[in-house]
Amino acid sequence: MDCYTANWNPLGDSAFYRKYELYSMDWDLKEELRDCLVAAAPYGGPIALLRNPWRKEKAASVRPVLEIYSASGLPLASLLWKSGPVVSLGWSAEEELLCVQEDGGVLVYGLHGDFRRHFSMGNEVLQNRVLDARIFHTEFGSGVAILTGAHRFTLSANVSDLKLRRMPEVPGLQGAPTCWTALCQDRVAHILLAVGPDLYLLDQSACSAVTPFGLAPGVSSFLQMAVSFTYRHLALFTDTGYIWMGTASLKEKLCEFNCNIRAPPKQMVWCSRPRSKERAVVVAWERRLMVVGDAPESIQFVLDEDSYLVPELDGVRIFSRSTHEFLHEVPVASEEIFKIASMAPGALLLEAQKEYEKESQKADEYLREIQELGQLTQAVQQCIEAAGHEHRPDMQKSLLRAASFGKCFLDRFPPDSFVRMCQDLRVLNAIRDYHIGIPLTYSQYKQLTIQVLLDRLVLRRLYPLAIQICEYLRLPEVQGVSRILAHWACYKVQQKDVSDEDVARAINQKLGDTPGVSYSDIAARAYGCGRTELAIKLLEYEPRSGEQVPLLLKMKRSKLALSKAIESGDTDLVFTVLLHLKNELNRGDFFMTLRNQPMALSLYRQFCKHQELETLKDLYNQDDNHQELGSFHIRASYAAEEV
C-alpha cells in the first residue's frame, strides 16, 4: 500500500492531483481522433465520432460514418452520414446528439443513432453559413451558439424550447474571433469572444469590451479560453504562453501562470470540483498535458496518443485510442487518509483495522489513540466518505471494512450514512462496469440523482439493470420498477419483427397489473409505430375504459370506442364518441350504430331534444317509431303556438 500515492502529483502546497485509468478502450477506430469531430457527453456519457471529410479541401466522395460509443468504447450505433456538412457535434442534457450543419440546420439523434427531429437556426444563419458552433448546458437545458460567416452570433438557450436570439454586432470585427465561448450567468446566456488583444462580452442587447483584472501586459492575442463546468470560472491562454485564471465575470483573478509555450493548445479545460482546494486548468497540446494552478510548478504528463478532454463536475476525463482516464484533485477525505505519514483519524482507523486483521495488538494501540482524541466518529465518517471517492472496489472494501470496524466501538453511530454509501457504491460499481460504461464518480452521481441515472439506463435500453437497481434501492414502484417496465414496453412495441400476439403477450406477462403502468400509453406508442392491431390488443389490458376511448377514436375504431365508452358508464365519454361518430359516418350509418346502442341512443335523443329537433325527427323516422313521431309533432305544435 506504500505505493498507493504513487500517482499523486502535488500542485502547490495543499492539493494533489491524480490520474487513473477508467477503461482500456478497445474500440476499433478506423480514423485518428484528430481527423474526427468528437463529442463526449458529460456525466460519463457516450462519445460520438464523425470523421470530418469536409475539413480537407478534397471533395468528399465517400460518405462519412457517424459512430456512437459508450464511455467504455462499446459501439452503440453507427450510421452513414447522408446530410450536409457538419460543423459541430454536441450532446444535450437528455443525451441526444445535436449535429450542427453548415447551413444552420441541427439534426437531433438518439443515443442509438435513431433520428429524432431537426430544427433550423434561422435564415440569417442559412445565408451566411456556420463558421463555428458550440453546444452548452444551462439550467434550462442545452443550448446552441453559432458563429456565422458574417461573424455574427446566434444562440438558443434551450433547444427543446427553441427561441433564437441574434446577438448584437461586434463593432469593427473584420475576421473571425480567435476564440470564443458561451457563458451562462444569472440565468442568461452570453458570448465572450476575443479579437486580437481585446475581449468582448455580448449579451442580448449590447456588446461591451471587457478587460480581465490584473492581466499581465504584452498580450497581443488570446488563443484559447475555457469556462468551468459551473460557469463560475474562466481561463485565458494568450499568445505569450501566459494563462490567466479568474472568475467568469473577469473582475477577479485567481492566479496566473506562465508556461512559456507559445503554440496554441489543442484543448484547455478546467479541472476543479465543488469546494476545490486548488482549482486548476488542464491544457493539452499534441503530446503534452499540463495541469496548471496557483503554484510555481505545474504538473506535466506526456500524451502518447491523440487525446480528447471532457470536463466533468469534479475532474477531467481524457480518452484516446487505447485508454480512458480520469484526472481529478484528490478529495479531502482520501487525502487525509492516504497522505504519507498522515495522522488523521481516518488514516489511523484504516491502519488499526489492518492490524486487527493481522491479529496484531497494534490494532488496539491505534484505536486507543483515536479514542483518546475523541475522534472515532470523525474517523468512521472519513473512511465512509473516502470509500465513495475510490474507483477500485478493493479499496472501497478496505475503507468500508475500516469504517465498520470503527463503528463497533461507537455507541450511537447512526448507520444510515454507512448503509447508504454501501448501496451507492454497489450501484456505481454496477454502472461503471465495462459493459455498461457509465464512469460516474460519487459526486457526479449525487449531482445527477438516481432518477436521472435510471432514465439514462433506460435510454441505453439497460432495462434489467435499471430494474435491479430499483429493487435493490427499494424505490417506490411507481417511480421505479413500473416506470421502467413501461419504457421497456414502449421499446418492445417498436420491434417490428415480432408478431403482434407475441409482443402483447410478452408485455402483459412482464407488466401484469403493476400499478402505475398505463397500457393506453404503451398502446399509443404502438399506434405511433403504425401497429394498430397491436395497439388494440394492448388496450384490452387497460383496466380503465376511460383511458381506452381516446386512443381508439384516434385509431378510427369508433364503434369499438363507443362500446368501451358505454362500458365505462361515463356518459361524457359516450357523448364525445357520439360527436366523433356523427362527423365520421354518414347519417344513415350513424343512426344504425345508435340503434344498436340503446344507452347512446337515449343520450343522443336527449341532446337532440334540446338542440337539434330536426335530427330527432329523422331518428324517429328511421326507427319507424310512429308513436314518438306523433308525440313529436304534437309537442312541436304546442311549441309553435307559444311563439
Partner 1 sequence: MSPLDRIANVSILKQHEVDKLYKVENKPAVSSSEQLCFLVRPRIKNMRYVASLVNADKLAGRTRKYKVIFSPQKFHACEMVLEEEGVYGDVSCDEWAFSLLPLDVDLLSMELPEFFRDYFLEGDQRWINTVAQALHLLSTLYGPFPNCYGIGRCAKMSYELWRTLEEEEDGETKGRRPEIGHIFLLDRDVDFVTALCSQVVYEGLVDDTFRIKCGSVDFGPEVTSSDRSLKVLLNAEDKVFNEIRNEHFSNVFGFLSQKARNLQAQYDRRRGMDIKQMKNFVSQELKGLKQEHRLLSVHIGACESIMKKKTKQDFQELIKTEHALLEGFNIRESTSYIEEHIDRQVSPIESLRLMCLLSITENGLIPKDYRSLKTQYLQSYGPEHLLTFSNLRRAGLLTEQAPGDTLTAMESKVSKLVTDKAAGKITDAFSSLAKRSNFRAISKKLNLIPRVDGEYDLKVPRDMAYVFSGAYVPLSCRVIEQVLERRSWQGLDEVLRLLNCSELAFTDMTKEDKASSESLRLILVVFLGGCTFSEISALRFLGREKGYRFIFLTTAVTNSARLMEAMSEVKA
119, β-bridge pairs: 106
CB nearer to partner 1: give 400 or 561: 561
In three-state form (DSSP H/G/I as H, E/B as E, the rest C), the secondary structure along 572-631 is HHHHHHHHHHHHHCCHHHHHHHHHCCHHHHHHHHHHHHHHCHHHHHHHHHHHCCHHHHHH
Of the pair 433, 570, the CB lying nearest partner 1 is at: 570
All cell numbers assigned to 421: 454509501
Q: Where are the alpha helices (DSSP H) in 474-597?
A: 481-492, 500-511, 519-528, 532-539, 545-554, 558-568, 571-584, 587-595
Q: Decide whether 429 or 606 has the Cβ nearer to partner 1.
A: 606
Q: Which residues bind partner 1 (CB under 8 A)?
A: 543-544, 568-572, 575-576, 579, 594-599, 601-603, 605-607, 610-611, 623, 627, 631, 634-635, 638
Choice between 209 and 634, CB closer to partner 1: 634
* Cell numbers linked to 551: 386512443
Burial 198-225 (b: 16+ CB within 10 A, else e): bbbbbbeeebeeeebeebeeebeebbbb
Of 120 and 621, the one with the shorter C-beta distance to partner 1 is 621
Does residue 289 contact residue 272 with C-beta atoms inside 8 Å? Answer: no
Q: Which residues pair with 226 in a beta bridge?
A: 235
Q: Of the two residues 290 and 574, which places its CB atom closer to partner 1 in the complex?
A: 574
For partner 1, which is the closer residue by CB, 258 or 571? 571
Task: List, as one string, the DSSP characters of 311-347.
Answer: EETTEEEEEESSEEEEEEEPPHHHHHHHSTT---HHH
The Cα-based distances of 524 to 29, 108, 536, 552, 559 in angstroms read 40, 23, 9, 9, 18
State the minimum distance, in angstroms, from the CB of residue 611 to partner 1.
Answer: 6
Query: If DSSP codes are grouped into helix, strand and coil, which group holds residue 7?
Result: helix
CA 44 to chain centre: 10
Q: Which is nearer to partner 1, 172 or 638 (CB)?
A: 638
Least spacing, CB of residue 615 vs partner 1, in Å: 13
Nearer to partner 1, 319 or 620 (CB): 620
Nearer to partner 1, 236 or 481 (CB): 481
Least gap, CB of 635 to partner 1 (angstroms):
6
> How many Cβ atoms are within 10 Å of 516's Cβ, its own excluded?
14
CA angle in degrees (0–180, nearest 5) for 560-562-566 = 120
Going by the DSSP 8-state scheme, the letter that residue 215 receives in this structure is: P
Residues near 569 by Cβ (< 8 Å), separated by ≥ 6?
Answer: none
Complete edge-to-edge strand list for the sheet that includes strand 207-210: 179-185, 188-195, 198-202, 207-210
Q: What are phi and psi of 164, to 5 degrees?
A: -85, 140
Nearest to 427 by CA among 471, 383, 486: 471
Nearer to partner 1 by Cβ, of 164 and 577: the residue is 577
Nearer to partner 1, 468 or 571 (CB): 571
Q: Give least dist CB 614 to partner 1, A.
A: 14
CB 309 within 8 A of CB 317: yes
Residue type, 416: D
